[in-house]
Amino acid sequence: MAARKEANRTDEAKDAKTAKPLEEMTFDEVKQDQKILADLPDIQKPETFTPKVAAECMQTRARIREVFRQIQESTAENAKDSAYALAVGTADILNTADEFLRSISLDANAYDAWSRGRNPDALAYAYATLVFWLEAQLGK
């Protein structure tokens, strides 16, 4: 049993060493990593963001980070509340990120059509990853 745990830790360490940091990934690599984003309609590239859009991106990322913190805190305090906290947090991430991503889409109608019928949990995680990547690209 101990050998299996050690092997798992070794595999995780290898993955961590070979995984490319998000800020070093390209947009295509982010879309490839988050399969649900593979057919995402075109959005503005971070290097074209106006200061207002860049600030909105930073604000969206900050809100998502806060939601993650609240979920962790709620889960740590009371396991009974974790399912509720996760559902509320997922909805908050979806609402916050969706509004921002729609605002930077090159075709809002195509974005709306694309977003329909998606798995909310997978989409929330992918949205968070994309927003974090966009924010990391600012100023490069």
- Residue-wise pLDDT tens digits, 15-66: 344 478 999 999 999 999 999 999 999 999 999 999 999 999 999 999 999 9
- Residue-wise pLDDT tens digits, 81-110: 778 888 999 999 999 999 999 999 999 999
Q: b or e along 20-40 (b: 16 or more beta carbons within 10 Å of the residue's beta carbon)?
A: eebeebebeebbebbeebeeb
CA distance linking residue 46 with residue 38, whole number of Å: 18
pTM for the whole structure = 0.82
- Residue-wise pLDDT tens digits, 107-129: 999 999 999 999 999 999 999 99
Q: Nearest-CA neighbor of 34 among 104, 106, 101? A: 101
CA distance linking residue 109 with residue 128, whole number of Å: 21
